Amino acid sequence: MRIAVCGKGGSGKSTISALLAKQMAKTKNVLVLDIDESNYGLHSQLGMVAPQDLMEYFGGKKGFKEKQKSPKTTQFWGLAANENSTGKPAQQQSRFFKNRWGFSDLPAEFVEEKEGIRLMAVGKIHDFGEGCACPMGVLTREFLENLDLGKNDVVIVDTEAGTEHFGRGVDKDFDLILVVVDPSYESLKLSKKFDEFGSQCGCSVYFVLNRVEPDIREEMLNSVNCANVVAEIPAKRELFKASLKGEELDIELEEIAKLAEFLEHVRY
């Protein structure tokens, strides 16, 4: 299952991604893929160090751009054999991957791991003037298209804030989209756009209401497609403080457990 976690900046995407990954790792093999080039805190919420950018596996942004320019590229990356780790014949789909990857084929130097959760980051903006994040969008799409999942494998993708990843066509490879909605006018309005984009790319869209307090709950529910609200996360001071300090989120919430159970049984 490939799950996109979307929302406006500051809505709590990374918090929900981290909490959900920890919960689902109890029964599933979980890969968290960080595709938000401006978020530098997801790894700390998972209690890990920041992974090396996957973009560097392909020669960095400069090397990756060079491979994009030539449709006749003969240099590919991946396993040396003509089969993936499951023994199935490789299906050539990419200029950048010679063979399809499963979880066991992920290059170890670009993966951080703790308590059954793997973490990868496609790329970050590190320096002034280095250029736009467009190559990261291309690599994300290529990576997801090239990734084979087993029955118990789950990929949780912490997307960049806003809607640009829809414009890049990344979301066509997701099985479902979780939209994190916080109690702000911008977030409530943007949720309708996420619902629209989800329909356009053929993905089921569900909503996670975040930082819900009793006096605003009804207004939040009335502002989204309430039939597709699958979790309501209450405002928790301990979550806020841990995130503020960059600490690991060692907090178990009943609402996250119910969300994980829903996702394990949902049909998409």
- The tally of domains found in the chain comes to 1
The pLDDT of residue 67 is 67
Which residues does 206 contact at the CB level (< 8 Å), separation at least 6? 176, 177, 178, 179, 228, 229, 230
Q: If DSSP codes are grouped into helix, strand and coil, which group holds residue 84?
A: coil
- Mean pLDDT, consecutive 10-residue stretches, the chain (268 aa), reads 92 94 97 87 94 88 68 43 44 69 96 96 73 75 91 94 66 86 92 84 91 93 91 90 86 94 87
Query: How far is it, in rounded angstroms, from Cα 138 to Cα 160?
Result: 14
Q: How far is CA 126 from the centre of its chain?
A: 20
Q: Are 46 and 248 in contact (CB under 8 A)?
A: yes
Residue 123, φ and ψ in degrees, nearest 5:
175, 160
pLDDT at 34: 95
Supply the range of the domain harboring residue 36: 2-265
Which DSSP state fits 103? G
User: pTM of the entire structure?
Assistant: 0.86
Q: What is the CATH number of the domain that holds 121?
A: 3.40.50.300
Regarding beta strands 117-121 and 153-158, do their DSSP bridges make them parallel or antiparallel, or are they unpaired?
Answer: unpaired
Q: Is 8 exposed, middle or buried (0-12, 13-18, 19+ CB in 10 A)?
A: buried
